[in-house]
Structure formats: structure tokens, C-alpha cells
Structure 1
């Protein structure tokens, strides 16, 4: 029997995805844009809408990074608003475990799960840079080797808060017309190296019990964290074989945590460009990538690796012959601008070799090395290729990242989705009432008997 494909939508805002110059590109902060994308995703029977969030605007060369969205509304506020205009779509928010506290985050997600009827999801992320930490009252930051340790304890603590309500503590008193509460309801006490809290959690158990947990780390520690605690993991692998290798690796880790293969889904982020012919689609895709990576943007990306001002370089010229500046990154500030390469000098060498082999300019090289996984072609060929990835265990579904906001999913919803449905690999109706149901995840274990709740 064929595997069923899962689909999700990403509303960009902290990357170079959106083509700002396209006249169809509308507001990135008005609620109408979020609503349009969410309604399209629900019309196409997507599992969830995913919002990314940064805790501080990035800076480069002392100026606000030109690809950040200034004025982006708070994630919980947007998701709560979307809960009122959708019925089935899951609502996933990126919330940081480094600069927040378990009680407030658990309370916000439990409330969202109640308001949405069981559709909340939490993408657990970390930060370690002091620049972001300056925004918070205690400042500071965590060394990189401690960020997943805190994230794991943060998540386990939040689970204790969610599970402090069993679900049967509130009963109606028919004589008085009031509700009676078991005095033990919401009681918690948690103490470890990161948290020392005790009291009562004041939000009763929500429809899902806990939000669906997402994780987006690709490091070994990130994969292990996902295998131990997440319901789904996001990845950026761009080829079939790389996806299959990643899929096999995270799935093999699950038994070590007492979990089965069906308890963790794998979602790569992907873009889709459609055309009446494959040739037309590839022409459109090349045009979109050049719109996404202007000459100025290409230089900004290059500066992040070289760690120095390169504004005097011609983006249509060759890469610099000198090496990156070693040590702490001082040209780029902010969580999403920290160095993604552990050995910048080695990466620069690889980029030079690639540029020489393909005769690429700086801009052309950046277009190539920053591209995400893409499906390019006719609706029929895209549907076939997406299905191939899922059936060959390169993933369980996809998070679609449109290059236009808010109408970037409309064409996919109208052309590709019906073809997947015809193949019998994609739903025609939502099967359940909660996000966990629609993702096909196993029911949560009883919090009173689950070893996964142990502190």
C-alpha cells in the first residue's frame, strides 16, 4: 500500500525566499496575508501552516539585514487569529527554548490548543548568540554545547505542566450549577540544573494533551533530540539520496528512545515552480532565483562566510582570492546570520573549486549554493516526483515555501493537489479532528504511565 503524502505551508519572513519586487507580492505583516495563505492551505487539505520567528532583527555591517521583515507580528497572536478563520489546519509556531520560560510557553500553547480545537504545534528552537540575548532582561547566552541540553529540559518541563491535568479533574455540580476542581489539578514541582519551579498550571488539559512537537536541527545533537522527543523533524536536504540517508538515520535512532518509526515524521522544506512544459518551468525557476538573489544579496551572503566587508566586489565578477577572516563572526549579527560553516576557509576553497568548474560569478555561485530542494516542471511531473520521494523513504511529506506571499500556493493547490489525490496518495478530506490525528501520529501515552514523562 502506498504511503500517504503530508503537506504543510510555510509563511516566510526570515530568509531570502520572497520575491519582493514582484507586483503580486503583498504585505508580510498584515493579517490578510496570513489568512489568505492559511485558507489556501486548508482548501488543499494541508496538515499545517508553519510560522518562523526571529527574536531580534539581524544586522550586517551595522545595518538591519536587508532580507528581514521589520514589524512582523507575534507568532502566538497570528496563530490565535488564524484559529478563528480555519477549521482543520494545524497551527505551528517557532518558539525559542533559550530565552523563554517553560510555564509561559506551556500556558500559551495549551491556550492555543484549546482555542483551535486541538491544532497547535510547537517548533522547538534554540539560540546561543549574545547579540540575541541582549534583547532579554538577563542578557547573556548559552554556549553552543549547552543549547540542546536546555531545550531537552525545557521540553520535558513543559510536558510536566501539560500533564499536570489528567483531564478528569473538573466536574459539574448539578445542584449549584458550578464546576468543582480536584485540589491536585495542575500541581507541579520541577527542579534540575536549568529550572526550579513549583505551583499550579492554570490551563486545563487541552484537546491534544500537548502540542505536536517539531524540531529543525540537522546536527547530530539535533537529530538525537528529535528522535527522543519530537513528532516531526524539518530538514533541508535537496536530493533524493541525501533525503534517504537522513531519513534512515533519524528513523534508526528511535528504538534507542523506546519509540517506533511511525512516531517521527520527516519534512524537508521545498519550493515548487510550475509551467505548461518542463522547459517553461525551468526558465521560470531560473528567473525566480535571480530575483531572490540580487547582486547586493549575493555580496551579503558572501560577507557572512568571509566575515569582512566585501562591498567593493563586483557580484558579477569572480570570488575573492583571499581567505575568510577566522574567529568570531563580527560582520553579521543575529541568530540566522551566524556562520553555518564550521570551517569557513575550507568552505571558501570548495566554493572556488565549484565556481571555477562551472565558470560561475559570485552571484551565480550564491544562487547555486543557497538553493533549497526544488520541484520544477509541469503539475504532472511535479506530482510524480514528490510521490517518488515519499514512496522511496526520502521523507514523509513536504513543507512548501512559496516565493510569493500570500498567493504563492494557489497554483499548486489548483493543479498538483488534484493529481496527488487521483494517485490515491493524498487525502480528499481531513481524517480527524486534531493535528495529531491528521498527521497519523500514534495517540499520546497516558501521562500517568509514560516513561517519556520522567524527569
Structure 2
């Protein structure tokens, strides 16, 4: 890795049951502003590029009810980020907003406002939904075909950028008109052009449509790959797609979601990691995960017993509002093979097979592994997903960031004020 190629870091405010450990006495509120502020200030102290908040527009259900371990009551994220803009100076502020159940004019206005309030630090993680389940909250159940979700999202982003570009360099609004398949709007945009030109666009889909959408439209990809080999394959595939859209490899940053567990020795770190994973995957959660794959009620099974010997339902309908795990029959067979090979129980199998990439070791070994991923083109950076809110990032910032700086692969000070500058992204024309 060349001296001028730096690792990019971001922080994710976790919220799903498979990430947070709320039984830990250090676990704080998921709604109090102090929790968001602590994590944001820690990320900025660590010179991270941005803080990333998830955002759901419907609570997820399992067997007709909200799962007990899911986070509920999370505040609206753009409002939270607007408040965080007042207590941070450099940290980018990113959130998920659905392109299916919003409209370009209103969302472009809110993102432009955040960009102005923060001095050019806004980012939008574009997601696309098509299901009637989510649509029921908007009286739009099933109105969008699944095949159209990315075409609408792409047109949504194009339209938002047209709105952001509609003001003159002298600060005067010009009339806009967009005529497309999904949007037919005209008028004058109410907010001057954002300081960044366009807020940074993030994308997280891993299917072929998602990869193409990232190559054509996104500035950052939030990837989830558990091995170096998988990361390198994804990195090469997405980067090679950029040329057809007239883009260079550096125009898109690929950042892999990771969790980190540290110890003074590798053995200590491994013991801590094992404890955390067992806290994340309770017996109740292990059965829920299994039911998501098998698609039938498995509440009578012992989490510490073997996997079911029954076949899974090919199209499970037990869980609503969660991303499907691909071909569930194939996943079940993979889990069975893993359990048989290692003699694992249900809970042990879920722990072994689930979760995102986790780096476990000393500060020095973790820093070396992060550098290796970037050096070998498996990522441009990482989105840190701590298991505790709000203090789960503190140890990484205090112990790993200084090592990365000593290795010359991470900044020692912010060199600009906008998120685009932090990420080394080109300014929009």
C-alpha cells in the first residue's frame, strides 16, 4: 500500500439484536441524545470520516409480533444528525433513507439543509424497498414491483442531484423540470446548492443490481464480507464496473463493515469475543435465526440441541421486514454441513455462521489486519460496528487508531471540513 493511500474509517450506531449487547451494564439508551453524542464525539476524536445511522420505516416482525430483542423507538435519523451537527466540527453525518417511500423534492431539501447546517458533511445511504409489508405504513402496499426498486432509486438520486444543481453559482434559484418514469416534477428548489455540491451517496446492496447501482451512482459502498478472498472478489467486481459510467476507481470507496474485539493478548481477545458472541446470540435469538431460515415454528427445539432434521420451507413467510438470506434451502444445507463437521448445537451454529467480519486480537494485530485488507484491495476502509452503545468505540479509538497512525496509514488530523474531502472524492461538476 503506497504511503499516500490511507485507510478510511467510519462508525455505525448499532441497533439490531445480533449486534448490540444490551444485557451489559455499560449498555446505554438507544434514544437519548447523549448516546448519539458520545459515539459521534468519540468517532471525531478518532478522526473518522463519518458516523452512520441506520433507519427503518417499519418495525420488523417475527411470527406476527415484534421480536423482543429488536430495537424499537429509534428516533428519526435526519433529525438526530441535525442535532449532532451542532456538537461536531468535522465528522461526516450519514443516514439511511428509503428511496421508495419518500419523494425527491422533500428529501433533497432535508439533505441539502443538513449539508448547510453541518458545513458540508451530509451523506445519504440509499435503500430501496418494494414489499407491501413496509408499504402499509404509507398506504402504498405492493405498489412497486420488486424489479423496479433500483430503477426508482437510481432515478430518485438523479432527480435529487438535478434539484441540488438547480441554483446558479451566484446563489439564485432556477426553474427545474424532471420528466421520468417514476417522477414528473417541476418548480423551483427552495435551498441553495449544498456546500459539497451533492451530499455523499452511500449504497449497501450486494446483489448484481445493487452492484451496478453502486458503480453508476454511489460514492461509497457499505460492504459485508467475512473473508479477505470474498472482499477482494467484491472489490474487483464493483471497481471494474465503474469504467462503463466514465468513472475512475477512486471515485467510489468500498468500506467493509467490521466488529473489533481487543485484548492485551490474542488469547484474551478471543475469550472476550466468545463471550460477546454468546451475549449477542441468546437462546431465544438462536431459535429466531433458525426459524428465519427454516420458515416454520421451531420453538419446541432446544437451542443447545442439534439442528432440525426437517426440510426448510423454500419461501419462508415467518419474518417480515428483514432482508432475506438468499436461497434459504441452500443456507440450511450449509448450516447442516457446518454443524455436522464441527459437532455444533443450534446456538453454536448460529454463532459460527452468523455475524459480520470480526477482527479479534491485540491493537497491533488488528491494525495490521486492517492495513492488509486495504493493501490487498479487499476494501478502501471500514465501518466499525461496536457491540455497545454508547462507549463501544472508545477502546478502538484509544488503542488501535494510534497504531494505524504510527504505521502511516491513517490521518493524524483532518485536512478539510467536508465529507467529500475526508473521503478523497471528486467535487460534482
TM-score tier after normalising by the smaller chain length: over 0.9
Taking the aligned partners of 2:390 and 2:174, their CA distance within structure 1 comes to 40
Partner of 1:94, secondary structure, is strand
Paired residues of 2:108 and 2:163 also in contact (CA < 8 A): yes
Per mean C-alpha deviation after superposition, the further-off stretch among 126-135 and 139-148 is 139-148
Q: In the alignment, which residue of structure 1 is the partner of 2:263?
A: 275
Q: 2:138 aligns with which of 136, 142, 145?
A: 136
Which structure 2 residue ranges, 5 or more long, are not aligned? none
Assess, with a 3 A threshold, how the Cα gap between structure 1 residues 413 and 338 changes in structure 2: closer, same or farther: closer
Q: Does 2:307 match 1:291?
A: no
**Quick one: which of 182, 187, 199 aligns to 1:199?**
187
Q: What are the within-5 Å matches in structure 2 for residues 152-167 of structure 1?
A: 152-167=154-169
1:15 to 1:146, Cα distance in 2 relative to 1, 3 A: farther
Q: 2:353 aligns with which of 359, 369, 372?
A: 369
Which residue matches 1:417? 401
Secondary structure of 2:428's counterpart equals: coil
Q: 1:331 aligns with which of 318, 322, 325?
A: 318
Q: Does 1:378 align with 2:366?
A: no
Once the 2 structures are TM-superposed, how far is the Cα of residue 369 of structure 1 from its aligned partner?
Answer: 1.4
Match of 1:100 in 2: 102
Contact 1:161 1:186 in 2 (8 A): no
Question: How far is 1:426 from its partner?
Answer: 0.5
Q: For 1:216 and 1:283, locate their aligned partners in 2 and report how far apart those are by CA, in whole Å.
A: 31
SS in 2 for 1:402: coil
Is 1:429 the counterpart of 2:398? The answer is: no
Offset of residue 330 of structure 1: 2.2
- Separation (CA, whole Å) in 2 of partners of 1:443 and 1:283: 46
Aligned counterparts, 1:234-273, within 5 A: 234-273=222-261
**Cα deviation code 1:394-439 (max 9, x no counterpart):** 1011000000100001011111000111111100100111000111
Aligned-partner Cα distance in 2 for 1:362–1:166: 61
Q: Does structure 2 retain, via aligned residues, the 8 Å contact 1:83–1:116?
A: yes
Give the conservation status (yes or no) of the 8 Å contact 1:186–1:202. no
TM-score normalised by L of structure 2: 0.98
Using the TM superposition, give the Cα deviation of residue 325 of structure 1 relative to its aligned residue in structure 2, in angstroms. 1.7
Check whether the contact 2:51–2:92 (CA below 8 A) recurs between aligned residues: yes
CA contact (8 A) 1:14 1:53 kept: no
What's the counterpart of residue 113 of structure 1?
115
In structure 2, what is the equivalent of residue 387 of structure 1? 371
Deviation at 1:333, TM superposition (A): 1.2
**Structure 1 residues 294-316: Cα deviation after superposition (integer angstroms, max 9, x where no partner):** 01000001111111111111011
1:349 CA displacement:
1.5
Q: Which has the larger radius of gyration?
A: 1
Measured after TM superposition, the shift of residue 15 of structure 1 is 4.5
The superposition leaves residues 247-297 of structure 1 with CA deviations (integer Å, 9 ceiling, x where unpaired) of 111111110110001100000100000001001001100110000000100
In the aligned structure 1, how far is the partner of 2:174 from the partner of 2:86? 27
Q: How many angstroms apart in 2 are the aligned matches of 1:397 and 1:19?
A: 25
Alignment gaps of 5+ in structure 1: 170-181, 446-455
Please report the RMSD computed on the Cα atoms of aligned residues, expressed in angstroms: 1.1
Aligned residue for 2:284, secondary structure, equals: helix
